Amino acid sequence: MFLDAEKDKRIKVLKAPFAVPVPAVISRSQEGPGEMGRAVLIPREEQEKMKELFKINQFNLLASDRIALNRSLPDVRLDGCKSKVYPEELPNTSVVIVFHNEAWSTLLRTLHSVIARSPPRLLAEIVLVDDASEREFLKASLENYVKKLDVPIRILRMEQRSGLIRARLRGAAASRGQVITFLDAHCECTLGWLEPLLARIKEDRKTVVCPIIDVISDDTFEYMAGSDMTYGGFNWKLNFRWYPVPQREMERRKGDRTLPVRTPTMAGGLFSIDRSYFEEIGTYDAGMDIWGGENLEMSFRIWQCGGSLEIITYSHTGQIFQEFPEIFPSNSLEIPRRIGWRQLQDFPWPGMFDGSCLTIPGVVKVDYGDVSVRKALRESLGCKPFSWYLENVYPDSQIPRRYYSLGEVRGVLNVETNQCLDNMGRKENEKVGFFNCHGMGGNQKLTLRHLNSNQCLAEPSEEDRLVPTMRECGGGRSQQWLLRNMTLGA
């Protein structure tokens, strides 16, 4: 059912979210809530309803359902990107979208933005993979809806909850395009998002490309431009993080911010890859569950095994970032640890493997499964060692190249208290402390030089009241320590 937003301003709020979808609102006038990416503010008298609906998908469902499925968006590209002309002959793409109990309005808004802002000749199809959704409106109602759209859309159904990686693998295997583009189920593509991704792959089929990821507020659905001055990295705990583009990369690009950014890692939700190259490098590691680690594993493999990874500044796609994006049945707390450990087993570390992996709390106790097939893949591809990656792709990494000693620092004044030196997650010039020794690494796994933050344990000053502090490493005498008979002394 379509409603003309000019004739019918009423937006029905879904009373039973698991039963039927809200009406599909298609705007003809580009007027109304959320147009041009503007924020949608909920009146005070509806705040309680908003909070209840927020719990369903971890975003403001009430606001989303008031926004047209084809809402207009601002052109957030750099001025130098707007006049770019692309070759007529570009590879086409299959867009693969995995969803699980996704909201009706966000899923359809994703589809409409892909269709409306992609040249028809380049969009071969959209493949939706339902990861065992339970909501009735994502079954027959969705099947009937997508039949009316102008682009071939197939819906594949997973028989049981399988997680993002396995669902994406099924979608990729069933797709037919020359390029596979992976998107999340709550995205909005902007004008000109697709052509630059495909053009870069045409230039080099071993280049895996990502758009700049813009932010769609989970609260107001305001569309906010992402930065072209950040790229992907990771910390000691193998968590993906955004960092400022380093000076060396700006110099390589000769200061031209419209040129692609070589990024050590990708966020993983949105990217395009040549189909045959995706197969050559081993697709995804099917031993990983849900999401949150597969992006780093694939990033390492791309760079180490002859490819490259870039953020294409000409391309912008918005994404809703949810604080708690996915609930997964059975042993969900163990999954991130197992993902991290599979990565560490799969990618040898430069002479300090045992030490680095121990900084990830609890990871050594996790059953990470059989990685022999992944190791054999790396050997067949002739992949470079991880030390090459750190030196050539990610020299700014926080991963240490070498250290003198690594372990716990235990108190000796009263052994029975079982206290260990703990940096407490604190920043520069903040006091460290002692905490019960837990043997899980993390904040208690210390080197004599704290390479993770370039801060060193410094001798206390009078005002510190004999409590050591963390300061920027300078090599001075106050930061030199000797370990004598298990006693740390300045």
Element at 232 (helix H, strand E) = strand 230-234
Q: Can you give the pTM of this predicted structure?
A: 0.79
Name 209's bridge partners.
Answer: 272, 310
**Phi and psi for 241 in degrees, rounded to 5?**
-145, 150
Sequence length of the chain is 490
Cα angle 62, 67, 71; round to 5: 155
DSSP secondary structure string, 325-337?
----SSSTTTHHH
Look at residue 411 in the predicted model and tell me its pLDDT. Answer: 65
Contact 263, 295 (CB under 8 A): no
Q: Is the dihedral of CA 227, 229, 230, 231 positive or negative?
A: positive
Distance separating alpha carbons of residues 356 and 365, to the nearest angstrom: 15
Q: What is the pLDDT of residues 254-264, one digit of tens each?
A: 999 999 999 99
Distance separating alpha carbons of residues 304 and 87, to the nearest angstrom: 30
Residue matched to tokens 């990871």: 363
318 closest CA partner among 221, 443, 252, 446: 221
Distance separating alpha carbons of residues 117 and 115, to the nearest angstrom: 6
Beta strands in 68-161, from DSSP E residues, in sequence order: 93-99, 123-130, 153-157
Look at residue 375 in the predicted model and tell me its pLDDT. Answer: 85
What domains can be seen in the chain, in order of their start residue? Answer: 2-64 (no CATH), 90-320 (3.90.550.10), 406-489 (2.80.10.50)
Contact 131, 90 (CB under 8 A): no
Distance separating alpha carbons of residues 442 and 358, to the nearest angstrom: 8
**Phi and psi for 139 in degrees, rounded to 5?**
-105, -105
Question: Residues 247-255: contacts with CB within 8 Å, 24+ apart?
Answer: 248/395
CA distances from 55 to 45, 59, 181 (A): 18, 7, 30
Look at residue 352 in the predicted model and tell me its pLDDT. Answer: 39
**Phi and psi for 243 in degrees, rounded to 5?**
-135, 155
Instruction: Give, for all 490 residues of the chain, the pLDDT tens digit.
Output: 333 333 333 333 333 344 445 566 777 777 899 999 999 999 999 999 999 999 999 999 999 999 999 999 999 999 999 999 999 999 999 999 999 999 999 999 999 999 999 999 999 999 999 999 999 999 999 999 999 999 999 999 999 999 999 999 999 999 999 999 999 999 999 999 999 999 999 999 999 999 999 999 999 999 999 999 999 999 877 789 999 999 999 999 999 999 999 999 999 999 999 999 999 999 998 776 555 578 998 999 999 999 999 999 999 999 998 776 555 555 444 444 444 445 555 444 433 344 445 445 455 555 556 778 888 999 999 999 988 999 999 998 877 655 555 667 776 555 667 888 887 777 667 777 888 887 766 677 666 554 456 677 788 776 666 678 877 776 677 776 665 554 444 4
Q: At what angle do helices 372-381 and 335-346 cross, to 10 degrees?
A: 40
**For residue 390, what is the DSSP state?**
I
Contact 232, 265 (CB under 8 A): yes
Judging by DSSP bridges, how do beta strands 230-234 and 455-458 pair with one another?
unpaired
Distance separating alpha carbons of residues 152 and 137, to the nearest angstrom: 20
Look at residue 423 in the predicted model and tell me its pLDDT. Answer: 79
Residue 135 CA, distance from chain mean position = 26
Look at residue 329 in the predicted model and tell me its pLDDT. Answer: 57
Contact 253, 80 (CB under 8 A): no
Residue matched to tokens 């189920």: 185
Alpha helices for 129-163 (secondary structure H)? 140-147
Contact 339, 239 (CB under 8 A): no
Look at residue 5 in the predicted model and tell me its pLDDT. Answer: 35
DSSP secondary structure string, 117-131?
TS-TTTEEEEEEEE-
Q: Given phi > 0 = left and psi -120 to 50 = alpha, else beta, which region is 441?
A: left
Distance separating alpha carbons of residues 171 and 70, to the nearest angstrom: 25
The total of other beta-carbon atoms located within 10 Å of residue 254's CB is 7
Look at residue 459 in the predicted model and tell me its pLDDT. Answer: 80
Q: At what angle do helices 335-346 and 294-304 cross, to 10 degrees?
A: 10
| Amino acid letter, residue 302 | I
Q: What is the pLDDT of residues 133-164, one digit of tens each?
A: 999 999 999 999 999 999 999 999 999 999 99
